[in-house]
Structure 1
Amino acid sequence: MAETLFRQWFVEEAQEDWETVKVCDFVKTNVLSITNNSKLKTIRYLDTGSLNEGIIEGFQILDMNDAPSRARRIVKHNDILISTVRPDQKHYGIIKHPDEDIIVSTGFCVISCQTINPHFIYILLTMSDMTEYLHSIAEASTSTYPSLKPSDIECLEFKRPPDDRLREFSVYADNAWGKIEYNHIQIRTLETLRDTLLPKLMSGEVRVDYKH
């Protein structure tokens, strides 16, 4: 629904007199990386294959000494992650309230919004036509496989809407993602309960009384 509203307001109803700006005018990329002085002993590592169209499918719990060399990027609330390899596979998402032990792969471009609502930039960068465009850039790269550079994302241009329209969209998008986050928390709680109870039910440690 947020993408539908975005398309209507900022694509179909875009005005010629809106200023043309670049993504880099509003964001920073790959701001924070873990250092050798980190006090973390274990991390929850997110690789590109475990993030699909906004859904985190799981973290790898790793000892820092055993972590792969790609486990370097630190993420903050509302950071946007987009895989720089084969963008058409849609390994992207937006991070909500991450704990400090969450570290993501350098295979992601981590986009931190400075002066614009992150949901606006997230939808801008992940719409189907933009995904196709980014993949075309990746295929033209000189790498052995289709890949993007952070600068490819930073240099993308768009028409900047008026402040009042941006504020209105921000209110809607923040509420929508708040509901999504709440639902994900509920799902994780139920999954934890299931994983705790199911082995006990199967072993007979816990029994269910049936009342007629």
Structure 2
Amino acid sequence: MLLPPLVGVINKNLEEQLATLFAHKFKDNISKATTSTCPKLGDLITIIDNRGKTPPLTTNTFEYPIIDVGSLKGSCRIIDFNNCTKYVNKATYETWFRRGHPKPGDILISTVGSLGEIKIYLGTKGCIAQNVIALRAITISPLYLYQYLRFIRADLFAYNIGSVQPSIKVTHIIKHPIFIPKADDLIEFEKISSYITNQLYTNYIENDALKEIRDTLLPKLMSGEIDVSKIVI
């Protein structure tokens, strides 16, 4: 299995390959996109937005972590749940969040504080914090849309309306034009992007498993509970 530092290097390289491919294929058309020639983001998605009253939180580790801005930071598209510091219990998870929870393939984006942090939700756990919304692609590939939003991050920053704390309104984001490529080009990009995304997620799962093994074995090795003196290498 891969060692954690190597996983980070590999994932960074995979992300850079996808970003380069996307820019090569689509950047010229994206630069020409306008609301008169292209659909708006709001035409292609539904939004899961649970902003409002803060749910009762705990720092006790439950199976329902709160996905906030901190867990969205970084260049990799995979959410690092190790960065989650707050949780809700099962009762809160099932009853509090009026608009529901993210589903696999949803794109999570921060709207307050550190703006434009973006990830793709994979797996089956987690609920979104007050400063995060989920965009659920309806008539467009979520992987293409994720890469598109990554590509236009500077445009998203331009929607900042906060004087003290940076913030962007959902109503502004959904009016942004989205260039839709020809079907063949979209299918080709989707195939490559899907393969790489699956590899990124697999690497993350393996890396997380290695950390768990390390955290379990290291204290036992340090205390002498596990004796490795007779192991022949």
Q: Could you say whether these structures have the same fold, taking a TM-score greater than 0.5 normalized by the shorter chain as the test?
A: yes
Range that drifts further, 24-33 or 175-184: 24-33
Structure ranking higher in strand proportion: 1
Q: Could you tell me which residue of structure 1 aligns to residue 69 of structure 2?
A: 48
TM-score, length of structure 2 as denominator length? 0.73
Question: Equivalents in 1 of 2:107, 2:132: separation in Å?
Answer: 9
**Residues 80 and 198 (structure 1 numbering): CA distance in 2 closer, same or farther, change over 3 Å?**
same
2:224 to 190, 204, 211: 204
The amino acid of 2:65's aligned partner reads R
Q: Would you say the 8 A contact 1:30–1:109 is kept in 2?
A: yes
TM-score, length of structure 1 as denominator length? 0.79
Question: Equivalents in 1 of 2:65, 2:25: separation in Å?
Answer: 38
- State how 1:16-27 maps to structure 2 within 5 Å: 19-27=37-45
- Cα deviation, residue 61, structure 1: 5.5
The amino acid of 1:29's aligned partner reads I
**Residues 210 and 42 (structure 1 numbering): CA distance in 2 closer, same or farther, change over 3 Å?**
closer
Q: Could you tell me which residue of structure 2 aligns to residue 103 of structure 1?
A: 127
Q: Would you say the 8 A contact 2:33–2:178 is kept in 1?
A: no
- Cα deviation, residue 62, structure 1: 3.1
Question: Equivalents in 1 of 2:150, 2:224: separation in Å?
Answer: 48
Q: Which runs of 5+ in 1 are unaligned?
A: none
Could you say what the CA RMSD is over the residues aligned between the two structures, in angstroms? 3.0
Q: Secondary structure at the match of 1:60?
A: coil
Q: Which runs of 5+ in 2 are unaligned?
A: 1-16, 56-61
Question: Equivalents in 1 of 2:153, 2:31: separation in Å?
Answer: 23
Q: Could you tell me which residue of structure 2 aligns to residue 119 of structure 1?
A: 143
Matched, 1:5 2:55: no
Q: Secondary structure at the match of 2:194?
A: helix
Deviations 1:122-144 (A, max 9, x none): 111112xx222211211xx1564
Question: Equivalents in 1 of 2:69, 2:174: separation in Å?
Answer: 20
Question: Equivalents in 1 of 2:188, 2:195: separation in Å?
Answer: 11
- Cα deviation, residue 109, structure 1: 1.8
Q: Could you tell me which residue of structure 2 aligns to residue 183 of structure 1?
A: 203
Q: Could you tell me which residue of structure 2 aligns to residue 58 of structure 1?
A: 83
The amino acid of 1:81's aligned partner reads L
Q: Would you say the 8 A contact 2:70–2:84 is kept in 1?
A: no
Q: Would you say the 8 A contact 1:78–1:112 is kept in 2?
A: yes
- Cα deviation, residue 210, structure 1: 3.9
Q: Identity across aligned pairs (percent)?
A: 27
- State how 1:137-148 maps to structure 2 within 5 Å: 137-138=159-160, 141=161, 144-148=164-168
Q: Would you say the 8 A contact 1:32–1:75 is kept in 2?
A: no
Question: Equivalents in 2 of 1:147, 1:181: separation in Å?
Answer: 29
**Residues 87 and 163 (structure 1 numbering): CA distance in 2 closer, same or farther, change over 3 Å?**
farther
Q: Would you say the 8 A contact 1:3–1:123 is kept in 2?
A: yes
Question: Equivalents in 2 of 1:82, 1:133: separation in Å?
Answer: 14
